[in-house]
Structure 1
Amino acid sequence: MITLAVDRNFGHEYSKQELTHLMTSIKAVIYARVSTQDQAKHGYSLESQIARSLELLETKYEIADEDVLAVVEQGEMGDDPNRPALNQALWLVEQGVGNKFVVLHPDRLARDLKLQLFITERIWNAGCEIVFVEMDVDPNNPESLLLYNIQGAIAQYNKAKILANSKRGRRAKVMNGKIPGVRRIYGYCFDKANDTLVVNEVERDVYLMMVDWILRGKDGRQMTLTSVARELSLLGIPAPSGDKWYQATVSRIVKNPVYTGTFYYGKTECRQRAGRKEIVRRPAHEWQSVPVPAYIDEKTFHQLQERISLLGRRNRGAKPKAPYLLKGLVRCGRCGAAVVAGAPSRDKQTGEPIYRYYACSGKGRKIFEVGTGRQVHACAGRNWRQDVVDDYVWRFVCSCLAEARSALEQIWGSGRKRFV
């Protein structure tokens, strides 16, 4: 048996010889999927799905293991239409690889009725038979198709019901003064027995020291968020993440209103659409509050925010005057950070810009090593000339527009190999 573990980094391009070999040697394609939730709640595993599928193929269709290709997918949601392993399996079937598409259960194929019908239609149109281990589907039997569609609707309903019940349970817990789990909040420890935040005395003192530094300075020096991060590193104070203090971490801590004695639940909401999670900010009047130990009062918190805002206005650089075609659209190929407008090179006599550059935002992040205070650069790569890059991109776009049809066909063909 051939097993393909396909994820979103899978980019194998099949040669004509490889594809021909698969078409002549493979009689069945197994698709196995598991998400973290499924494995925890239902005991599904990729190994058991493949084993049961192989057993069915051997006993019912007399297809041996060596004539089977298994495509496995882990950690993808059942309502996502763009799952990499599913798209790979469908593409192979449409190329003529195998005449049977084997899945343990319809909810492994999809947890959305519309998506289930779309995938099913593609498989049948490819001249391939869908075989489910735990139920039979006959495309020529109206009653069988009805039960199949009902199964898809039930799977979609169950997914929505589980999400709704989880949200309702968490809201009820908050109404009783409890916190239904929370990410790490510096200065507190989460008490799992009572579902609440309790004081971490060491981190509380560090937080109060940060507040004092920003409001009053340290040793006669004005302290910015960057200098606070550097000073904490020099003092060898452990950071929330361990060995590095980020300026962004200090900013997130001192801007958090939880230290005034109120934890707000429901500030954001996670919504799922087509297998993708979207974080949506909810209006303030919908937030639920839970009392927690207070470290500062409201007045001090407002003074702190005003001070931070003033420091931000003073240290904010000038906006770039020249247009940057790709600003905010691309990421660094070395570290994955966003690409921004970098500092230009200037004439030594006049100070006028000579060349402008794209720069990786990872190069400018304020990160300091705990114990030494040494600044750590997340990305050490060089910058890119803005005029050279923009000119290349414009030329490429114009060439595509001049031959729009062939360009679209090329993009579509490439997409089918990887994503469809």
Structure 2
Amino acid sequence: MSGVAIIYIRVSTEEQSRKGYSLPDQLEKCTQKAEEMGACDAVLCTDYAETAAYLDRPGLQRALELVATGRYAYFIALDVDRLARDLGDQLYVTEEIEKRARVEFVTHRRGDPGNPEDTLFYHIKGAFSQYERAKTRQRTIAGARQKAKSGRIVRPGCYPGHPGPYGYRYNKDPQNPEFSIVEEEAAVVRKIYRWVLDEGLGLQAIAARLNQEKVPPPRGVKWYTSMVGRILTKELYYGEFHNFKWRTVTVEGRTPSGRRRTRYLTRPVEERIPVKVPPIVSREEWKRVQEIRRQNGLRVRKGRKHQYLLVGHIRCGECGRSYNSEPHGTGLRYRCIGTRKQMSSTPCTNRSWPVHSNSRTPGLDDVIWDEISKRLKDASLIEKELAGKRRFPDAAVRDKLEKELQELELHLSELRRHRESLFEMRLENVLSEKEFRFRLLKVNDKVNIIQQKLDEARRKLSVMGPVKMPDFHALQKAYIAKVENADFDLKREIIGKLNISAKVYRRRVEIFWPFSCTQKVDNLTHNRDCRAPGRCRPRK
């Protein structure tokens, strides 16, 4: 039977390196198969670096379009897994092709589509192909996680072949992967951190200064704020690299070069596996930089036309995104950024809230500041909070010493019981005299060490004296005077110092406090203790 054949070949980068499925090798075998079947000519359809997980591959779609014309007698591929790895996809593609042409594979025969036994075998082959892919993926992930748990770097970046972060050099050794510090780049990293710590510079100012000093950027010809932001936020720079921090998500569309579009999203913290690497800055410096950046983000920008008290302190209770401020025809308002269609494919439907109260709706700034004023004027809440001794270094040290004292006393009593058991074992001739003396000597040495630690802890406790608590009435009077005459800047400072935040829902607002208190506001706003159980499950 003569006719024209369609030859379909596909390879992914991983398969080519692991299995040797090169395109020339597939083409040679498929061409030989076409000649054996008596094809007089062949049309080639190719997919390079394309995964079998999706059917919208350019080469496969072109092959299906050619088959639909009815002018081709054969469709030849190396194996059924070249079409797809999912059994359902394989059966769909095969059914579409067999409407107009005959399907054949190099590694095995398709058989007669009308024969139940041949069709069953073909289905089994497809099922095994899908099973193989799932098992291979499972083994790969398990091996990578085991490698990470042993303290090694699995992948230096969010995609295969990543050269490694700025400031480090990746040795690309699969057996012993590691980062080594590049001193020239590390000096730039330390300089960036010093600018934030000493001068409080923001991303734009740092990028401008680096460009002015003509410091070579990680890539390209100039520094951008995104580059500086990555350097200031990566845990890597204080010596902790996180394996499995990123996951790849395929999105619709392709790049101008034809590659499938992907996005890199961060995984939850509990799924990451940290690995120790050489640090460039200290952990304390890194934490201070994060706090400075957070404060810079909450600070009101100079030149702002309108004043918003809660900028940076409000999040949407429906979708979790932040609430932004914006002028509106009816006045100033806060609105969830997820309500903008261009921000997400599933826009948030939460309502906006006025900044200041009107005849219909209480304003967020007014409501929350009223509550802050009540809290600061209520000395019982402050006294209750301070009585817990959580905010006094002396009290924290005393608590630590008392806990250590209890542990030492418990350890000492256990050693004494052990010593008594040794005497009993010697009297019953369970232990020889030599072994008894050896064990007793070791126990006595431990008892002496624990006793010395106990005496030192008791001495430290005796010289500390009682914890001094402040004069609550004087503290209350000072705060009342400040709160009643507070201007906008002082209100912002108080909100920042107390780290007060709010979650906005359709018909209510939840305020998170540093104090242990819960209270309703105007039957619309609910306050909730930030340490109370179930904070992550708000009342609906």
Q: Relative to 1, partners in 2 of residues 1:192 and 1:60: Cα closer, same or farther, differing over 3 Å?
A: closer
Alignment equivalent of 1:133, drawn from 100, 106, 111: 106
Shift of 1:271: 6.7
What's the secondary structure of 1:58's corresponding residue? Answer: helix
Structure 1's 292 and 54: CA in aligned 2 closer, same or farther, altered over 3 A?
A: closer
Q: Distance in 1 between matches of 2:134 and 2:86?
A: 10
Q: Which residue among 175, 182, 207 is the counterpart of 1:200? A: 182
Q: TM-score if structure 2 supplies the norm length?
A: 0.50
Contact 2:247 2:266 in 1 (8 A): yes
Q: For residues 192 and 185 of structure 1, what CA distance do their matches in structure 2 show?
A: 13
Aligned-partner SS, 1:245? coil
Q: Give, in whole Å, the separation in 1 of the partners of 2:182 and 2:115.
A: 65
Question: 2:274 aligned with 1:289, yes or no?
Answer: yes
CA contact under 8 A between 2:72 and 2:100: conserved in structure 1?
no
- 2:140 is aligned with what amino acid? S
- Give me the whole-angstrom Cα distance separating, in 1, the residues matched to 2:239 and 2:33: 60
Shift of 1:310: 3.2
Q: 1:72 aligns with which of 42, 46, 62?
A: 46
Name the TM-score, length of structure 1 as normaliser. Answer: 0.64
- Counterpart check, 1:246 vs 2:244: no
1:264-413 matches, cutoff 5 A: 264-270=242-248, 279=264, 281-313=266-298, 314=300, 319=326, 327-328=342-343
Could you tell me which residue of structure 2 aligns to residue 104 of structure 1? 78
Alpha-carbon shift at residue 329 of structure 1 (Å): 7.7
Taking the aligned partners of 1:151 and 1:276, their CA distance within structure 2 comes to 31
SS class of match (2:109): coil
1:195 is paired with a residue whose SS is coil
1:54 aligns with 2:31: yes
**Equivalent residue in structure 2 for 1:32, among 1, 5, 9:** 9
Structure 2 residue identity aligned to 1:73: D
On the 8 A contact 2:74/2:104 being kept in 1, the answer is yes
Q: Distance in 1 between matches of 2:232 and 2:46?
A: 45
What's the CA shift string for 1:21-77, capped at 9, x where partnerless?
xxxx9722221111111211222222332332222222322x223xx2211111111
Written as runs of structure 1 = structure 2, the 5 A alignment for 1:6-45 is: 27-45=4-22
Alignment CA distance shift 1:51-1:235 (3 Å): same
Distance verdict in 2 for CA 1:158–1:273, change over 3 Å? farther
Contact 2:74–2:102 at 8 Å: present in 1 too? yes
Give per-residue Cα distances to partners, 1:284-309, cap 9 Å, x unaligned. 22321211222333332222112223
Q: How does 1:122-271 map to 2 (within 5 A)?
A: 122-124=96-98, 126-138=99-111, 139-183=113-157, 184-193=164-173, 194-217=176-199, 223-270=201-248
Give the distance between the partners of 1:69 and 1:232, measured in 2 at CA.
55
- Aligned pair in 2 of structure 1 residues 77, 315: CA closer, same or farther (>3 Å)? farther
Question: Once the two structures are aligned, what percentage of the paired residues are identical?
Answer: 32
Relative to structure 1, the CA distance from residue 271 to residue 142 in structure 2 (aligned partners, 3 Å threshold; closer, same or farther) is farther
Which whole-Å CA distance do the structure 2 matches of 1:119 and 1:214 have between them? 58
Q: CA deviation at 1:276?
A: 8.6
3-state DSSP of counterpart to 2:66: helix
SS at 1:30's partner residue? strand
Kept in 2, the 8 Å contact 1:33–1:46? The answer is yes
8 Å contact 1:80–1:276 — kept in the other structure? no
Measure, in 1, the Cα distance between the counterparts of 2:223 and 2:261. 31
Assess if the C-alpha contact under 8 Å between 1:264 and 1:288 holds in 2. yes
Q: Is the 8 A contact 1:266 1:286 kept in 2?
A: yes
Contact preservation (8 Å) 1:101, 1:129:
yes
Q: Is the 8 A contact 2:153 2:275 kept in 1?
A: yes
How far apart, CA to CA, are the structure 2 residues paired with 1:315 and 1:40?
53
CA-to-partner distance for each residue in 1:298-339, whole Å, 9 max, x for gaps? Answer: 332222112223333445986586999874589xxxxxxxxx
Give secondary structure in 2 for the equivalent of 1:77. Answer: coil
1:214 CA drift (Å): 1.6
Alignment correspondent of 1:401: none
The alpha carbon displacement at 1:211 in A equals 0.7
* Aligned-partner residue type, residue 168 of structure 1: A
Cα distance in 1 for partners of 2:43, 2:6 equals 5
Deviation by residue 1:175-233 (Cα, 9 ceiling, x = unmatched)? 2221123131122222345322222222221111101112222xxxx632112112212
The verdict on how the C-alpha distance between 1:122 and 1:296 changes in structure 2, with shifts beyond 3 A counting, is same
Taking the aligned partners of 1:104 and 1:119, their CA distance within structure 2 comes to 15
Structure 2 spans left out of the alignment, 5+ residues: 158-163, 253-259, 305-324, 330-336, 346-540
- Describe the shift of the 1:276–1:238 C-alpha distance in structure 2 as closer, same or farther (beyond 3 A): closer
Unaligned 5+ runs, structure 1: 1-24, 331-420
For the pair shown, the structure with the greater C-alpha radius of gyration is 2
Number of aligned residue pairs: 298
Paired residue type of 2:219: S
Q: Tell whether the 8 Å contact from 2:3 to 2:40 is kept in structure 1 after alignment.
A: no
What is the rounded CA distance, in whole Å, between the counterparts of 2:230 and 2:236 in structure 1? Answer: 11
Residues 167-176 or 320-329, more deviating: 320-329
Detail structure 1 runs of 4+ shifted over 6 Å in the superposition. 271-278, 322-326
